[in-house]
Amino acid sequence: MTLHTLPFSASRGHDFKLSVPALDFRPGEIFGLLGPNGAGKSTLLHSLAGHLPESRRAVSWDGVSRAKLGQREWARRVAFVAQDSTAPSDLSIRQFVQLGRVPFTGWLRTTTRTDRYVVDHALEQCGLDSIQHTSIDRLSGGQHQRAKIARALAQEPRALLLDEPTNHLDLAAIRDTVELLRTLASTSVALIVSLHDLDLASVFTDRAAIVNCGSVVAAGPTASVVTPAMIQNHWGVDMIHTSDGSRSRYLLRHDFPPRTSQATEAAQLAGTRDDPPAALRAPIEPLEALT
C-alpha cells in the first residue's frame, strides 16, 4: 500500500503555482522534500494531505483517490504534522493527543477501550506517557513537537507528513526527533518530511525530491539527488562534501575572514605604533626623589 500522485498543479494564493509529477512514497521509507524557502515544499505537503482541492483527484492511497475516500477515511491513512500549530492551553498532553482519534470517534462520541489503547501507545512511542497529564502550554519545543507527532500517530496512519519537524529545536531535541522518526519508519509507516538541513537530509532520508521555483526538479535516492552541483544550481551556495562510502555529509563553505575581538584589534593597532623614546618609557620617579 502506497501514497501516490498523478501529475497535477496546485496553488496557494494568487502568485504561486506548484507543478507536481507522478510520485510514490513507500512504506518504511523516509522521503525528504528539500528546497529553498518559498520553493513549494509546504504546498506539496498540503497537497499530499488532501488540503488543496486541485490535489484530491491526483493523490491516492493504494489506488483510491482522496476525492473518493473522503476526508475522514483519508485521515485514517494519512496524517499531517504542521510546522506551526497551536493548541488550547487548557488541554493536557493526553487530551491533545486524543484529538487524533476524531477520524474514528467524531467530535461528540465517547472514547472506547480501543481509543484509549491507541492513545496510550502513541504517548509511549513519543516518550510522553510519564508527563501525559501536564498542560500542553508548559512543554518545551522538543516536547511539543513530540506531542504533535503523538497526536498524528493516534490517527493510526500509514503515511505521516511532517513540515520542518526539526525547526527551532536544539541539538538534543533534533536527535530525539530523528530517532523517533527512524523508529516509526521501521514499523512500515511512510514518512514524507520537508527539511532545510541538507546535511541532516543526507544521513536521514532514503529518497528525496528537490523542489524549486514551483517545480519538482529532481527525485530519487538521496545520494544521487543531493549533490554539490544540485546544491549550487538550486541554492546558489557551495558545500564541502565528504563521504564515508555509505553516506554523504555536507558543510557550508564560506569565505568570511576570521573575526577578532576588540581587545585583539586594539593590541594589534598598538603594536604598529612607533615605540616611545626610552626616557618616556622609564617609570616616573616619586616627587620626593627629585627634591
Using one digit for the tens of pLDDT, what is the confidence trace for 148-172?
A: 999 999 999 999 999 999 988 899 9
pLDDT of 267 above 70: no
Q: How far is residue 11 from each of residues 48, 161, 215, 289, 290, measured CA to CA in Å?
A: 13, 19, 12, 90, 90
Q: Which amino acid is at 261?
A: S
Which one has a higher pLDDT value, 190 or 86? 190
> Mean of the pLDDT values across residues 203-208?
94
> Helices then strands (H, E): number in the chain?
13, 14
Band of the pLDDT at 258, cuts 50, 70, 90? confident
How confident is the model over 110-139, as a mean pLDDT?
Answer: 93
Site of grid cell 480501543: 114
Average pLDDT value for residue range 79-84: 90
Query: How do residues 25-55 score in pLDDT, each as one tens digit?
Result: 999 999 999 999 989 999 999 999 999 999 9
Q: What pLDDT, on a 0 to 100 scale, did the predictor assign at position 290?
A: 44
Residue with more model confidence, 284 or 50 = 50
3-state secondary structure of 85: coil
- For the chain, the structural domain boundaries read 3-236
| Spatial contact of 104 and 115, defined as CB atoms under 8 Å apart | yes
Q: Which pLDDT score is estimated for 276?
A: 56
Helix, strand, coil % over all residues of the chain, rounded to 5: 40, 20, 35
Listed in sequence order, the residues at least 6 apart from 72 whose beta carbon sits closer than 8 Å to its beta carbon are: 103
The pLDDT assigned to 291 comes to 41
pLDDT computed for residue 105 by the predictor: 84
DSSP state of 108: T
Q: Give domain 3-236's CATH number out of 1.20.1050.140, 2.40.30.10, 3.30.70.100, 3.40.50.300.
A: 3.40.50.300
Q: Kindly report which listed range (32-46, 100-114, 152-166, 257-271) carries the lowest average pLDDT score.
A: 257-271
**pLDDT reported for residue 195:** 94
Q: What is the mean pLDDT of residues 136-147?
A: 91
Q: Supply the pLDDT for residue 182.
A: 94
pLDDT in the model for residue 87: 67
Task: Tell me the pLDDT band of 265, cut-offs 50, 70 and 90.
Answer: low
218 phi and psi, to 5 degrees? -160, 150
In the prediction, which pLDDT does 274 show? 55
Host H or E run for residue 271: helix 262-272
Of 278 and 84, the one with more pLDDT: 84
- Residue 236 vs residue 286, higher pLDDT: 236
